[in-house]
Structure 1
């Protein structure tokens, strides 16, 4: 499906007189963003009043919600023979990203990250949800001035999760790769433009993480060390990482494995533009979903994660979706299922060992 009718609802009016539009949703970003170049449909003063900075709006395509948020910038520009209006902003979750966490005591005990985030964001109109079984945090101390998002992101990351922005303006604690798009992206079929980066510059043969317990004594507390090996790197390229936070044997091994897997995942990225906003099943392309990518020219034939998607319309190009993709390991997933991208992308998944 390539025909999309995009509408912007603002001030109680549905607006579609724009020269160009784009909405970007990234899996590792807690807010979606938009950019519009619009015509002065209501006259210059009237359009300025409708799209004023701070105005609430919704952007939909064929009735499906892309973004619910606010105008950050209203930017009129006057030339000798031209007059253009640029409008940009982010989804509702910007308030949790930009606003400081507030709590009477600053200390919250024995609650999961979502409940803690809700407690420090009272009064901020942002829904915070999760589809994961999150562990309770023994104790969280709010750092004066830190934002609601930063509180949540730190705790989510510690549990192997990501905070992503949703179309309805909320923030969701989740993991990538839980859902799959229908069909795929194929050279000669629906890949309009594409490029890839096979980048080994940050891969290492082994990752050694060292750290300490905040309390205790002896080697088991003061000399913690774990090693995770990447068998896909065929020459000796070691790296040592110092864990600054309080850790234990289990955490330090997880850190070593995560560092190895992220490096392997980020070593294979691609950007692909396809006609239309949807997969073969009619679903909007969604960040965090798996999609099969097959292109001999890009040397890719495997599952990839959609890291971000930009939906755009302008001029005579119609509706385009630009998908930024990476190997699933970049977000804690397994190596691409059915991987045919070559032996270069093989990687051992052995557990980290004691140093």
Structure 2
């Protein structure tokens, strides 16, 4: 089984471990890792909330802090384990401490910069139109205030190895090689569920100004994947205008379909055919005839595991690229794997 050097640094010093698990997702703002430590020194191996980094093959994978330090012992033996979280954990747990709580004439990037009072850092890859005013809710976190906007813009918030927030509305690139049954796939499983299938997704809201239908009762509608009458209606929390409602309706229809269809593939090692460490929100080609898959998929999340006996393995959770803002993969997969197509959402003013 493949083996890769995964290093945990706490306070600038390495901590040896027997087993570790690294987890990251294109749909979550905080990557994390857990380590079973090989420690036999005096006292505790480290403290909670200490500065920490995780490296894979010498390359930075996580920048953050130790979160939970657990210990146990009996008369003869003792064990220690520690979890590590990205710096972005403060964006999800700490409140924004801003003198006014509002910002005028701002886009998504400006909102991230202005309300990042914990100095986490925000990388925004989305080109968004400016809004007249953004007002935070007292006690709100940076992630929460950004997430209100990204929902409207059809974007995702994840994190980077440097511990910054990363906002994007499409896959970040492609992995080299092909995942193929009988070649490099160790194990695979999948789920195709009708739980999130809808024939149409409607988004309704209300504008802050105006008395006409476009301000009081605008609605956008996107086609879903269900064959029967099964409608999902979503209330848009922010400013309701045609572009935002249409974008969100299309995004929610694709996201709903993606929630019900996923494949999980386990591979040896943690790198693609070109030597890149597997990364969320990147495309990869998959050919698995037993699972009915023959198309590009996007990595929604991943888990890298390592121990002394089994070496290093990676489990990828894959979805249709359109479920995370990508394009139609145009493959030859069995029916049921696809997300909704590219039909333009409709907009109405009642």
1:329 corresponds to: 322
Partner of 1:183: helix, strand, or coil? strand
Cα shift at 1:267: 2.9
Specify the alignment match of 2:86 in structure 1: 91
Residue number among 204, 223, 226 corresponding to 2:220 in the alignment = 226
Return closer, same or farther for 1:349/1:125 CA change in 2, 3 Å cut-off: closer
* Alpha-carbon offset, residue 35 of structure 1: 0.3
Aligned to 2:13: 13
TM-score by length of 1: 0.90
Gaps of 5+ in 2: none
Q: 1:127 to 1:291 in 2, by over 3 A?
A: same
Q: Deviations over 1:208-235 (max 9, x none)?
A: 33333333224343332333223x5333
For normalisation by structure 2, the TM-score amounts to: 0.91
User: What is the CA distance between 1:265 and its match in structure 2?
Assistant: 2.5
Which shows bigger deviation, 313-322 or 246-255? Answer: 246-255
How far apart in 1 are the matches of 2:53 and 2:245? 44
Shift, 1:52, TM fit: 0.9
Aligned residues: 347
- Residues 306 and 71 (structure 1), Cα distance of their counterparts in 2 relative to 1, 3 Å cut: same
Q: 1:260: which partner in 2?
A: 253
Q: Residues 104-253 of structure 1: matches in 2 within 5 Å?
A: 104-122=99-117, 124-230=118-224, 232-253=225-246
How far, CA to CA, are the matches of 2:244 and 2:130 in structure 1?
Answer: 16
Q: Distance in 2 between matches of 1:228 and 1:275?
A: 40
Question: C-alpha root-mean-square deviation of aligned residues, in Å?
Answer: 2.2
Deviation string, structure 1 residues 183-218 (Cα, Å, up to 9, x no partner):
121111111111100112211222233333333224
Q: Equivalent residue for 2:28?
A: 29
**Structure 1 unaligned regions, length at least 5:** none
- How far, CA to CA, are the matches of 1:271 and 1:341 in structure 2? 16
Contact kept, 8 Å, 1:264 with 1:329, in 2: the verdict is no
User: Does the aligned pair in 1 maintain the 2:152–2:247 contact within 8 Å?
Assistant: no
Task: Note closer, same or farther for the CA distance 1:153–1:82 as it changes in structure 2 (3 Å cut).
Answer: same
SS in 2 for 1:114: helix
